[in-house]
Structure 1
Amino acid sequence: MKTVTISDVATHAKVSKSTVSHYLNRRYDSMRENTKQRIEEAIETLGYQPNIVARSLKLKSTRSIGVIVANILHNFTTEVVRAIEDACISSDYHTIICNADDDPLKEKHYIEMLRAKQVDGLIIFPTGNNRDLYQQMLNARYPVVFLDRTVEDISIPSILLDNLQASKLAVEHFVEQGYRRIGIITTSIINHITPRIERIKGYEKAMSEQGLPIIDNYVRTSKSTDIQQAMADLLKLDEPPQAILAGNDLVLIEILKYVKQHGLRIPEDLAVIGIDDVSFASFYTPAITTIAQPTFEIGKRGAEALLKKINQKDVEDYGNFRFEPELKIRDSV
């Protein structure tokens, strides 16, 4: 089949090629309504598809951004990505989503692949182990924003939760309800992942502020596949914790599986608070008390910050921003 060109559209609509070009690039504020209608009908009748590559070369922009997430399985991640996509679509950008699985090699591959595809900028949930690559992008003034995590000494704008405050809210609520032996479980901190490290620090700080001892055996980090074993180890202690803070949604799921499999009662046998307000928390029996993150606001702000950088606007007020967590009290404590 013959490829339909912009000239064919112009001839069919009885307008100039430049008028069609203005229409395709949405520069039609002063264009008559019947002209727009004729061009739209010509495009539909002829089945015209714009040449995206040619358009990108001309405009020096692909109108696309890459989003490299650490782990797509997190409820937090899917909600943030949805907000990013919504914000980008409203600005006529499309998104390419890549899942790094917390693997620095996969992250490096995706950064290089997306840049080769000439995306206009990147939003990264960084593994933290590609410092040279991050610095190269900074030196090249390439638009990039970090979400959910920071990387020490890399001055890329980062947007995330106040993780210290998140743990503090949880510990304070446990104490208000009369609990003293409080533990925390989170996923592995081997790669120094910001929220995991900060939530443990926040827990320890809050315990000290409440005059409670920090017991090393009450602080557990492990791969998500080993969370249930961590639970078993905790509950076998001579004085096991009365309450557990789940460091993220994947940890909470594993804790609830363990509780069900071993016939434990919440909160009678074990009080639980989860960081991340997962969708099932409100209708699980008993309903789970959580520390909620404003996921959609985080994603929206991240997208806005990147688009400002792409358009070479000041992003000072968007750099290193932390959102406040919210305690949602339910029945698990």
Structure 2
Amino acid sequence: MKPITIADVAKHAGVSKSTVSQYLNQRYDYMGEKTKKRIEQTIEELGYRPNIIARSLKQKSTMTIGVIVANILHVFSTQVIRAIEDFCNESNFHIIVCNADDDPMKEKRYIEMLRAKQVDGIIAFPTGGNVELYKGLIKVNYPVVFMDRILPEVEIPTVLLDNEKASLLAVDQLLKNGYKKIGMIAPPLSPYVTPRLERISGYKKALQQHDIPFNPNYLISSEIFELEAKINHMLTMADPPEALVALNDRVLIEILKYTKEQQINIPGDLALVGIDEVSFASFYSPALTTVAQPAFQMGKKAAELLLNRIRDKDTDDFSKIYRFEPDLIKRESC
């Protein structure tokens, strides 16, 4: 069958092609309700489907953005994606989500794929391995916004947490509750994974502010699959910590698995605070004290920044960093 065109819709509805076009683009300012209803009924009756490719060529926009996350398993990542999708949906934009697995090669392939699909812009949790590629995007004025990680070599607006303050809140709460020997457990460190570096820095600064010497034996940084052995080594030392700060949600889960297997009572034997709120924190037994990121507000801000750049409404400094405040949620684990 011959595909239904906008001209067929206009003829059947008894209106001009431009009126149908205005309807499809939701420009109803000078359109009567009867005309809108007639076009709507005609589209349904004829089964008309707009040619997205033709429209994007005409408008020079695909009304689509790409989102490249470092690791989609993190609760923070999924919450940010949801916030971006919600904001974009309200603006009639679609999103394509890509999971880079913290692999620069995957990130590079996704950037190239998204550009080939002519998406209007990208929100990325950068791995740090594609600095020159991002510099090239900025050189051609391609809209990009970073989430969660800073690349000092690239002037791109970045949205992230005040990570040092997150650690400060966690340590302060433990000290307030009488714990002095406080450890921190972290995933592997990388010069480009900003939250990990800043949260460790905040942990050390918090101890220093309270005149507590930093004990290197109380800081673990390891791949997730190696954490159980590292946690066991730390907690079976002659002088183990009496409280732990989990640097992120995945680390928190590994600590909880270990304490359950070893029948370690929380907080009786070991106090615990996790940075990053998790869905089960309030009904885990005991309920978990966490430091939450305002993930939905952060995702919305990143989407707003990107769409403003796409629409040439962004007058802010491209190197500007947008910091969000963490929130301590007091429960029963410390």
Q: TM-score range by the shorter chain?
A: over 0.9
- Residues 21-170 of structure 1 aligned to structure 2 (within 5 Å): 21-170=21-170
Q: Secondary structure at the match of 1:92?
A: coil
Q: Which piece of structure 1 moves more, 230-239 or 257-266? A: 230-239
Corresponding residue number in structure 2 for 1:272? 272
Q: State the Cα distance separating 1:314 from its structure 2 match.
A: 2.5
Q: State the Cα distance separating 1:190 from its structure 2 match.
A: 3.3
1: CA distance, partners of 2:56 / 2:162: 39
2: CA distance, partners of 1:57 / 1:205: 53
| 8 Å CA contact retained: 1:161, 1:322 | yes
Q: State the Cα distance separating 1:153 from its structure 2 match.
A: 2.3
Q: State the Cα distance separating 1:134 from its structure 2 match.
A: 1.1
Q: State the Cα distance separating 1:222 from its structure 2 match.
A: 1.2
2: CA distance, partners of 1:44 / 1:185: 58
2: CA distance, partners of 1:152 / 1:113: 25
1:266–1:315 Cα change, 3 Å: farther
| Counterpart code for 1:148 | D
Q: Secondary structure at the match of 2:126?
A: coil
TM-score normalized with structure 2 length: 0.98
1: CA distance, partners of 2:97 / 2:199: 27
Q: Secondary structure at the match of 1:316?
A: coil
Q: Is structure 2 residue 302 aligned with structure 1 residue 302?
A: yes
| 8 Å CA contact retained: 2:167, 2:202 | yes
| 8 Å CA contact retained: 2:191, 2:197 | no
Q: Is structure 2 residue 265 aligned with structure 1 residue 286?
A: no
1: CA distance, partners of 2:173 / 2:236: 25
Q: State the Cα distance separating 1:226 from its structure 2 match.
A: 1.7
Q: Is structure 2 residue 172 aligned with structure 1 residue 190?
A: no
| 8 Å CA contact retained: 1:277, 1:293 | yes
Corresponding residue number in structure 1 for 2:262? 262
| Counterpart code for 1:95 | I
1: CA distance, partners of 2:66 / 2:283: 35
Q: State the identity %.
A: 57
Aligned length: 333
2: CA distance, partners of 1:91 / 1:185: 41
| Counterpart code for 1:102 | D
Q: Which piece of structure 1 moves more, 172-181 or 217-226? A: 217-226
Q: State the Cα distance separating 1:239 from its structure 2 match.
A: 0.6
| 8 Å CA contact retained: 1:305, 1:315 | no
1: CA distance, partners of 2:31 / 2:290: 53
| 8 Å CA contact retained: 2:150, 2:192 | no
Corresponding residue number in structure 2 for 1:328? 329
Moved over 4 A (4+): none
Deviations 1:187-215 (A, max 9, x none): 11135310001100000111111111111
Gaps of 5+ in 2: none
Q: State the Cα distance separating 1:140 from its structure 2 match.
A: 1.1
| 8 Å CA contact retained: 1:68, 1:107 | yes
| Counterpart code for 1:6 | I
Q: Secondary structure at the match of 2:240?
A: coil
- Residues 304-319 of structure 1 aligned to structure 2 (within 5 Å): 304-316=304-316, 319=320
| Counterpart code for 1:93 | F
2: CA distance, partners of 1:244 / 1:268: 13
Corresponding residue number in structure 2 for 1:242? 242
| 8 Å CA contact retained: 2:160, 2:322 | yes
Corresponding residue number in structure 1 for 2:220? 220
Q: State the Cα distance separating 1:129 from its structure 2 match.
A: 1.2
| Counterpart code for 2:305 | A
Q: State the Cα distance separating 1:224 from its structure 2 match.
A: 1.6
1: CA distance, partners of 2:227 / 2:3: 57
